[in-house]
Chain A
Amino acid sequence: MPDKHYKRPKNLDLLRIRLPIGGIVSILHRVTGVVLVLALPLVFLLLQQSLRSPESFAQVVALLSSLPARVLLLGITIMLAHHFLAGVRHLLLDLDVGISRRGGWLGAWLVLAGVAGVALIAAGCLFL
């Protein structure tokens, strides 16, 4: 007979859980996904305004050239790069590629290295 008051281990002590690197890359895939969905209306608005008229196109260009907008663009680019590369990793895991303990570790670090590379290129394009 199941005991309602049996204390199951919950392991929610975040200081005691050590998430492996694959788990960190995976949870970041979720976080970046949610943020990218929230950024969709902004993308729609910029696309629409850039196409509406020469004047609104100039406004979008001016807005995107401002420093805060470039910082925001860099942030969105980094999150998109992470979501993209971690997503490719998940698709490969579905195909049993990189599914081993070592493969999982290597794939996760390759994703992070790729994100760092994209971040450097994007920062160079936006700020140099």
Chain B
Amino acid sequence: MNAMSPRGSGSAHRGLGEWLLQRLSALYLAGFTVWLVAWLAIAAPADYVAWKAWMAAGGVRLAFALFFLNVLVHSWVGMRSVFLDYLKPLWVRFVVQLLLAFGLLALAFWAAQILLVEARV
């Protein structure tokens, strides 16, 4: 479509999306953090049973699911912008970003496991 774009690689439009994703995920993470800290300050669970029951509640698990999603997106965009600034040889950046992608994907599966197995009664 835009083969003659100045960047040449056709990725000139991606920046805005990542910029927005970073800020939207930041808003969720900030709200989640405040909510979690407030809950811990007001009503920290006394024992395993209380902790497990709280985590098993549908709303709480949904909030944690969204936290996992947002924290992984936020990590990807943030780490990528750090790599873009400091990792200059292209192949080094490629390898490190690939490792990051696999690492975050593994964390995503791990998060699903926690939500679907350990966090359920």
> Which A positions have Cβ atoms within 8 angstroms of B?
30, 33-34, 37, 40-41, 44, 47-48, 50-52, 54, 57-58, 80, 84, 87-88, 91, 94
Asked if B82 and A34 sit within 8 Å, CB to CB, the answer is yes
Q: Is B51 an interface residue (CB 8 A)?
A: yes
Residues of the B chain whose Cβ atoms lie less than 8 Å from the Cβ of A33: 78-79, 82
User: Looking at the complex, which one of A37, A50, A87 makes contact with B30 (CB distance below 8 Å)?
Assistant: A87
In the complex, 5 of the A-B residue pairs with CB atoms within 8 angstroms, ordered by the A residue number, are A30-B82, A33-B79, A47-B118, A51-B52, A51-B55
- By Cβ-Cβ distance, the 9 closest A-B pairs, closest first, are A51-B118, A57-B48, A54-B48, A37-B75, A33-B78, A48-B114, A48-B118, A44-B110, A52-B118
> Which B positions have Cβ atoms within 8 angstroms of A?
23, 26-27, 30, 33, 48, 51-52, 55, 71, 75, 78-79, 82, 107, 110-111, 113-114, 118-119
A34 to B30, CA, bound (A): 17
5 further A-B pairs in the complex, CB-CB below 8 A; given A34-B79, A48-B110: A40-B71, A44-B107, A51-B52, A88-B30, A91-B26
A37 to B75, CA, bound (A): 6
Asked if A37 and B26 sit within 8 Å, CB to CB, the answer is no
**Cβ of A95 to closest chain B Cβ, rounded Å:** 10
Asked if B51 and A50 sit within 8 Å, CB to CB, the answer is yes
Residues of the B chain whose Cβ atoms lie less than 8 Å from the Cβ of A34: 78-79, 82
A3 to B59, CA, bound (A): 63
A33 to B75, CA, bound (A): 8
User: Looking at the complex, which one of B33, B107, B111, B114 makes contact with A51 (CB distance below 8 Å)?
Assistant: B114
Asked if A84 and B30 sit within 8 Å, CB to CB, the answer is yes
**Cβ of A80 to closest chain B Cβ, rounded Å:** 7
Closest to A47 in B: B114
Residues of the B chain whose Cβ atoms lie less than 8 Å from the Cβ of A52: 118
Residues of the B chain whose Cβ atoms lie less than 8 Å from the Cβ of A91: 23, 26-27
